[in-house]
Amino acid sequence: MGAIRINQMGYRTDSTKQVVYVGEASNFLIFDVEKDQLVLEGDLKTHGVDEASKDIVCTGDFSSLKEPGNYCICIGKEVSPIFTISDKQPQVCTDALLKAFYYQRCGEKLSKEHAGEWHHDVCHLQPSYLFHPEAEDLLKNNPQALEKIDTSGGWHDAGDYGRYTVAAAKAVADLLLAYEHYKEAFTSNLDIPESNLPGADILHEVKVELDFLLKMQRKSDGAAYSKVTTRYFPGMIMPEEDTDPLFIFDVSSPATADFAATMAMAARVYKEFDASYANRLLDASIKAYEWLEKHPEPMLFKNPPNMNSGEYGDVSDIDERYWAAGELYRTTGEEKYHSDFLKYYAQVEDKFTLGWSDVGGYGSIAYLLSEQELDTKIYEALKIDWITYAEILKQRSSKDGYGITLSLDDYIWGSTMVLLNQSMHLIIANRLKESKEYDYVIERNWDYLFGMNPMDISYVSGLGEQAIMAPHHRPSAADGVKEPVPGLVSGGPNAGLQDDAAKEYCQGQPPAKCFIDHVESYATNEITIYWNSPAVYVGAYLCYR
């Protein structure tokens, strides 16, 4: 582990640029590695002890270096990894982060043509059995008594092969927002099977998940099923080797509301390209919302007994209903959704979180960015509160040794998602203020993801000289390829130490160092679609801000 911490993927020419040095020093030198020439000398500013890592750090600014090229930084006898200054840097990262969704596809063969050495055979095409308390006995003795549902397609959620409605909703929402806000960032050919079709590849990729989600809607009444998984997490095997029976699990009000919100968003986005498909999405959204109206009491999902796969449970559905009403009002302009949104506004405690269980932030974004007629008082209150939290994040960044927005309490399971969600919040605040006030903080968070952090590691596979190599990701572990599937965002430091590997290697470490690049550390080094999705949003912003 080196003492010089930088964004290993580099910087845009016009971005602010920071180096962090662990130790005490007074200056830094930057060399053009191709010309073997000193191009900049700068002073280091002593920060002192970084609370989250307990590192004694100095920081240096080299924003004045704008010439495209490849560089390294020298401080004393330490030499940094080589990094690039190029306006293409965020685009390279964003394309890789988005292409990762292709590698997570379920129900289809990933060919060598598009997946390269990470190709694999088709998987999980068998129908799912609607879960029944006596499912195992029925499978053995009377399988025809179990209802079968086609659940093929979509994305594997994480390092395992489950597929979950609420997790999918966050991932799809982030990607749709990225496209709505920064279309110019999505003109690249990602080399996916649909790249030769009209339209942006991000829309082709998101449609893969939307088509799966449509299968998760119960045809009889519009409610959405919670998840599709096997009964137990599979071993570290390839997806085509995971042939245990699949089960589809009961409907819930959070899943149904998330479904309604996501479909309403998608209908708005896809209307320009495929009106028929957009109408289908909107019809599905409205039908799900009608079910919510008929079932005003929360119906929360819990794993059945002896079920060892992800639960994605919840304690409330008010934030999900808030989001669904907000998206349907923004898409349709119908007053009943506006009335419901205002009702839920008064009940939602957290109106800013952009998680999979707390989705109030998405409802707020839907209202703040809506073109429909709004309640002025509610709009202004939301805007003020949104910007107030952005200011809190900005102040937190100014006190952090690495310039990031994570608090000590934010080093939890999926801390990189927390960081990226905070970046999304700051980007939305920029939009509301019609400024770039928070760009410096957004850029520091981005730098952290790619190596400017206490672990001196890029938390994105394949991106950076010292990127993660052993994510808790079954295809990466089982495919016989040395390099992991590229573009996957690791969960990052997690002070909870909820797995044996983390307990063995990270015990006693400060929060920002509770990370181990180990395939068995699912609590620090797993991947998920909804950790990649906010990264795509942030990357898209940095491409063409």
Catalytic residues: 160, 472, 517, 526
| Residues forming beta bridges with residue 38, ordered by sequence position | 31
For the chain, helix (H) and strand (E) counts, in that order, are 17, 13
Picking from 257, 190, 246, the residue whose alpha carbon sits closest to that of residue 222 is 257
Q: Following CA atoms 222, 223, 224, 228 in sequence, which dihedral angle do they give, to the nearest 10 degrees?
A: -110
- Report which secondary-structure segment, H or E, holds 44: strand 37-49
> Would you say 533 and 362 are in contact if contact means Cβ atoms under 8 Å apart?
no
- The SS3 call for residue 382 is helix
Residue-wise burial string across 232-256, b where 16 or more C-beta atoms lie within 10 A, e elsewhere = ebbebebbeebeeebbbbbbbbbbb
Task: Please say whether the beta carbons of 225 and 218 come within 8 A.
Answer: yes
Pair type for strands 56-61 and 69-75: unpaired
Residues contacting 233, CB < 8 A, separation 6+: 160, 308, 309
Task: Report, in angstroms and rounded to the nearest whole number, the Rg of the chain calculated over CA atoms.
Answer: 23
Q: How far is CA 488 from CA 58, 102, 131, 416, in A?
A: 30, 11, 31, 12
Task: Give SS3 for 27.
Answer: strand
Question: What are 197-206's contacts with CB under 8 Å, separation 24+?
Answer: 198/273, 199/273, 201/98, 202/98, 202/175, 202/178, 202/536, 203/179, 203/269, 203/270, 203/273, 205/98, 205/101, 205/102, 205/175, 206/172, 206/175, 206/176, 206/179, 206/266
Q: What's the CA gap between 309 and 328, in Å, rounded? A: 32
Q: Three-class SS string for 215-247?
A: HCECCCCCCEECEEECCECCCCCCHHHCCCCCE
Q: What is the C-alpha separation between 322 and 507, in angstroms, rounded? A: 40
Give the residue from 427, 399, 303 showing the smallest Cα distance to 59.
399
Determine the residue type at 518. H
Amino acid at 310: G
Which two three-digit tokens encode residue 307?
């079920």
The one-letter code for the residue type at 264 is A
